Amino acid sequence: MISRLSGLASWLGFGTRDQTPRSLQQRAARLVLPFPALPELQPSIFWDDNPPLHYLHELPRGALSGPIQEYKARAHGLLVRVVDRQQVHLPAIDLRRVDGLCSVNPLDGPCPSFETYAATPHCRAIRIISFKDFTRTLNEALPGFKGGPTVTLLQASWQGERLFWTGEQHSEAFACAIAYARLRGLDISVPCHLVQYRIDPAGLAALEQAFHVLLMPEAAWSDRDFMRHLLESGVPYARLRLKRHALEMLLLDRQDPLADALGRGLVQAGASDFTAYLHRLV
């Protein structure tokens, strides 16, 4: 497929006689593309307000696109090692420690705390002014909470110590009840199933050694100059898009001279190195 596309590019006048790594790096460095900035971590109660790095651990085999199956399989095998997941069961956890939600953020921007969220118009319909109101509201989010239902919480090393409740319904009621419990000093202890994600330094080092992992703009795939360099060089590549945050990544083999040259040239042109970003989060 690559050789046919390369031949077609040459027939259309896109070919070049000079296909050395040095020339490819120089030409790639001159590309003008709207490269995206690395995402900033937000101090928000909503899980999806920050990059969904946990998705790397659960990456489906068909998530990567590219011309060569073996290359995509190798990239996939390294990507899934970057984020580690552990699951523990806690006999009791005070829900006042929970300060995050896995539901979709209905606000225009990040929200730092349950107390802030409870004061927004989005939670205006929930009024807690007595202990009876509190128990009714919490029971709406956690039916039968007095019997000690097991809750599932998420935690990610790149989001600090914040604990996120996985319930997708009645998140407003849950947030308001927890904020009230903190205010009044009410202990709410229930069993907990805790899922913890962390960036694995060894897995990250293996990925960084094998590939350039570069953040690319969506516009690159319709850019004449970028696609010409990609087709002319005939380098194998893999492409990954992380859902919701529209993070588009290009993986290029560091051991392939032309692929390595293209990666170096794109960095010179302004592409961000995603593995360096992950190192900072570690």
pLDDT at 1: 56
- Measured distance CA(143)–CA(136) in Å, rounded: 9
Query: 90-116, pLDDT tens digit by residue?
Result: 999 999 999 999 999 999 999 999 999
pLDDT at residue 145 in the model: 80
Q: What Rg value do the Cα atoms of the chain yield, rounded?
A: 24
Query: pTM for the full model?
Result: 0.86
Ranges of residues in the chain with a pLDDT under 50 are 3, 7, 10-13, 15-17
150 vs 33, 95, 96, 143, 144, CA distance in Å?
A: 49, 11, 15, 11, 10
CA separation for the pair 47, 195 (Å, rounded): 13
Distances in Å between the alpha carbon of 8 and those of 151, 236, 258?
57, 17, 19
